[in-house]
Structure 1
Amino acid sequence: MAAHLITGAGSGIGAVVARRLLDRGDDVILLVRDAGRARQLVERFPGASTLVGDLAVPGRLSWALSKQALPDRLDSLIHVAGVVDLGSVADLPPSLWEQQLAVNLVGPAELTRLLLPVLRVSQSRVVFVNSGAGLHAHAGWSAYAASKHGLKALADALRAEEAEHGVKVTSIYPGRTATPMQERVHQQEGREYDPARFIAPESVAETILLALDLPDDAHLTELTVRPNG
């Protein structure tokens, strides 16, 4: 039975991945921002356990995790959590830059750092669910794209640094996916949201499971997923 720690399991891609892993009998640990959220997700995902730590405040993660029992084995760490606020460079205030960089980049870096001892012992797989914005930045997407470009750099550096310890690192770059985040993006863009036009979160979850389930002698480094049409 494999053990996985997932961020962003409250909705969208992360929720599908958590459900799929639980349904096949794996141990699932969900990182949640507070105790109230922990209670909600334990009710929603029977059999899962939780760790409380807020990615929006990376500097507090070490303290938060020090107060809880960490797993002694992890087969994977799956980074799915993310936030997005659109706006031009001329208009975005520092607070929105800081929030997106914290949740999308600095938080994942710090969580990975804190878990590296167990990731090394377990020779785990670390999966970063990035975005097409991590490869190409468009007008109005400066802060989000910067955070996701940084996440690519984090994954690339981690892959090179931890190969000697057997830690395997995958970046997945989905195109627009039918999730609550995508609905929020459309609200910010002032456009009508039609989820049928985009990738189903189940399809992205399949790519994550593919990365997790490869034999130990191979791993995916990068995978781009795009909607048809």
Structure 2
Amino acid sequence: MTAHLITGASSGIGAAVVGRLAGRGDELWLLARDAGRARELEARFPGTRTLVGDLATPEKLSWSLSHQTLPDRLDSLLHIAGVVDLGDIGELTPKAWNAQLAANLVAPAELTRLLLPQLRLARGHVVFVNSGAGLRANAQWGAYAASKHGLKALADALRLEERAHGVRVTSVYPGRTATPMQAKVHRQEGKEYEPAQWMAPESVATTVLTALDLPRDAEITDLSVRPGP
């Protein structure tokens, strides 16, 4: 059975991906920030397994996972979780910078490092759900864009390093998507949020599954998806 480990499964794009993969009977491991969230995920997605690890503190992930039973092999590791906090460079504090860099960049790097043995064994696939901000930075998006530009660099380096092990690496760059994060962004921008204006999480989930399901003789390296006209 194909096995996947997914971050950000509780809402938005992550929840849409979990629903699609669960619907076809794949084995799912969901990362939760604490035991309470793990129980919520298990109740929401029956048949899934959970691991507890807080992406806000990547330096503790190794200790957390060492005290849990991990999958023997992984066909994919899907990095979908992320945090955002807008602000002008002249106003963002080190706390705001560090929080976004930790969750959006350092934690994916550390989680990938810890799970590379399982990914290599399966000749698996690492998918980074990045952002349009990973390709360009706009005003007030400096810290978030920096973390996502770094995530692109992480993916590009990992792809070259793990090619000999048969591990594929894909970056997906969604435009604005109707998720709880988007609602928060609109509040910070002082704008009214209308979900119908933006892509559905299920549309981005389709791009993720397209990359996963591509035959082994090919690899999608970078894929941008934007709201339609």
User: TM bucket by the smaller chain?
Assistant: over 0.9
Gaps of 5+ in 2: none
Counterpart in 1 of 2:12? 12
Paired residue for 1:162? 162
Counterparts in 2 of 1:1-229, with a 5 A limit? 1-229=1-229
Q: Give the Cα–Cα distance (whole angstroms) in 1 for the partners of residues 27 and 96 of structure 2.
A: 35
Give the letter aligned to residue 141 of structure 1: W
Give secondary structure in 2 for the equivalent of 1:171: strand
Runs of 4+ with deviation above 6 angstroms: none
Q: CA RMSD in A?
A: 0.5
Cα distance in 2, alignment partners of residues 127 and 103 from structure 1: 16
Structure 1 residue 111 displacement after superposition:
0.1
State the TM-score, normalizing by the size of structure 2.
0.99
Give the residue type in structure 2 aligned to 1:226.
R
Question: 3-state DSSP class of the match of 2:127?
Answer: strand
Q: In structure 1, how many angstroms separate the alpha carbons of the residues matched to 2:190 and 2:134?
A: 23
Structure 1: give runs of 5+ residues left out of the alignment: none
How far off is 1:218 after superposition? 1.1
Question: Which amino acid is 1:142 matched to?
Answer: G
Q: CA deviation at 1:73?
A: 1.1
Equivalent position SS for 1:224: strand
* DSSP 3-state at the match of 1:81: coil
CA–CA distance in structure 2, aligned partners of residues 133 and 16 of structure 1: 21
Helix, strand or coil at the partner of 1:126: strand
